[in-house]
Amino acid sequence: MDVINIQIQVPKDILTLLNTTPYELAEESKVTLVIDFYKTGRLPSGKCAEILGCTKEEFYKMLGRRGISFLNWDEDESEIRKEINEAKINYQK
């Protein structure tokens, strides 16, 4: 996957306030951005997982930890049915 780097400016004390490192802040920002794109229907779950370097199941768990349903009803109905079936299969394992 071809990538681009995006820079954001934040106050220096944000790292202290959040008790984090620049790398952790960048990673959390990427996760938050991707999840927001998923919630607003701008990216499907598979692409979100690809961007974050995880499986769809791991992406669904990220959503769950944030209290977000993995079923994005704005997606195509066939995609929703596919995700439900995949979740059932993974649950049975």
3-state secondary structure of 19: coil
> Which residues make Cβ contacts (< 8 Å) with residue 9, sequence separation at least 6?
none
User: Which tokens belong to 78?
Assistant: 């066939």
Residue 41 has pLDDT above 70, yes or no: yes
Helix ranges (H only) for 7-55 are 14-18, 22-39, 45-52
> Rounded to an integer, what is the distance from CA 3 to the centroid of its chain?
17
Q: Where are the domains of the chain?
A: 14-92
Q: pLDDT tens across 48-78, in order?
A: 999 999 999 999 999 999 998 877 555 566 6
CB 45 within 8 A of CB 68: no
CA distances from 80 to 2, 38, 53, 64, 67 (A): 27, 13, 21, 17, 19
Residue 70's CB is within 10 A of a number of other CB atoms, namely 18
Please provide the average confidence, as pLDDT, over all residues in the chain: 87
- Predicted TM-score (pTM) of the model is 0.72
